[in-house]
Homo-oligomer: A and B are copies of this chain.
Amino acid sequence: MKKKISLKDIAQKVGVSTATVSYVLSKDKESKVSIKVAEKVKKAAKELNYHPNQIAKSLKMGKTFTIGLIVADISNPFFSHIARIIEDEATKLNYTVVFGSSDEKADRSWDLINFLANRQVDGFILAPTEGSEEQIKYLQEENIPFVLIDRYFPEIDTNYVVVDNYQAAFGAVNRLIDTGHKRIGMLAYLNSLHHMRDRINGYKSALKQNNLEDDTNWLHEIDFFNIEKEVKSAIDKMLEGKLRVDAIFFATNTLAVIGLKYIDSLKYKIPDDLAIISFDQGEAFDFYYCPLTYVKQPLDELAKNAVKVLTRKIENPSARKEQICLSAQLIVRKSCS
C-alpha cells in the first residue's frame, strides 16, 4: 500500500520546512524563496510525483472548486446536454461538477442541497422544482452562491438564466394559426412553475389575439407522475366529436414523444389530420416520418451563462444579480405546413 506523497515528504527530502515547499509550489513567482532552493523543491516534487491533496487545500482555503448541479433528471436529454456543457465550462475554470436528480420532487431537492452543501460545494446551478421556494431562500440566507436555470421564481430576486417561454410558445402557436389552423390543442404539465405557466400563457395569448375561441377541451395539464395515462385521455378528448382539434402544441419533449406514439396508434396522419409543434429538440423528432417543427432552446447559451454567472458570484460575492432571458428559435419543418 503505497502512501501518498505530501508536502512533508518533499520538505524532508530537500531538507527545508513544509512552508518553504508550499511557497514554491503554490506561490512560486511571488514568493521570496531563493532560486536555488526553489529548483531543488520542484525537482523533488517531480521525482516524488507529488500531487497536492485538494481536500486539505479546500479545508484551509474554504473553497472546493466544486459546483453542485441539481436537475430534474440527468438522464433526460435536455438536462444531460446542459450537464455536458456545464462540465466543459467548469473544467476550463478548474471546477468539478457533482450532480443530483430531484425527480421534480421538492424533498429530494432539499436532501440534495443539504448533502452537497455539507460537502462544501462553492455554489449551485439548479433547475428548481415546484414548491422549492424555501430552499432558495435558505441558500440566500446562508449566502451560498447559486443560479437558477430553466425555471425561476419571479417573486424571488435571484440569479437566473432562462428562456423566454412566453414568446416561444406565442410564436409557435402563431405559426400554427398562420398555416390555417383554428382549433389548436395544447398538452402541458400541471405545474405552477413559471416556465410552464409562461408556455401556457403564450398559447392562450396567441389564441386570443387571433380571436380564436378557446375551448376547455383544448388545454390539458398533465400530472407529471401519471403522464402516460393522462396524455392518452387528453388526446382522446381533443380528438372526439366533430369539433376536434386540428393541431396540437406539446409543451415538452416527453409529452410529445408519448403523445405522438399514441396518435400514431390511432392512425391519424401528421400533418394532414393534425399539425404538430413541440417544445425541445429530440433525436426522435428528426426521425419521425413527418419531421417535427419544434421550439429549439439555446442550451449552449443557457449552460454557459449559468456557469459564468455562478463563478462570477463565487469569486465576487458582492457581484450584482444577473437575470438572463434568452430567446428560443422555432425550427419549422413539415409537421405544421
Q: Which residues of A contact B (CB under 8 A)?
A: 1-2, 51-56, 58-59, 64, 66, 73-75, 77, 80-81, 83-84, 87-88, 91, 96-101, 114-120, 141-143, 257, 260-261, 282-284, 286-289, 317
Contact = CB atoms under 8 A, between A and B. Distances in A.
Contact of A284 (B53, B54, B119, B284): B284
A98 B101 contact: no
Contact of A77 (B77, B120, B261): B77
A134 to B, nearest CB: 14
A283 B261 CA distance: 11
Contact of A96 (B73, B88, B119, B286): B119
Contacts of A101: 84, 87-88
Nearest to A287: B284
Nearest to A91: B100
A289 B288 CA distance: 7
Nearest to A253: B283
Contacts of A64: 55
Contacts of A284: 282-284, 286-287
A-B pairs, top 3 by smallest CB distance, nearest first, are: A80-B80, A75-B84, A284-B287
Given A97-B98, A283-B284, 4 more contacts: A2-B142, A80-B83, A87-B101, A284-B286
A219 to B, nearest CB: 25
Nearest to A96: B98
B99 A116 contact: no
B286 A283 contact: no
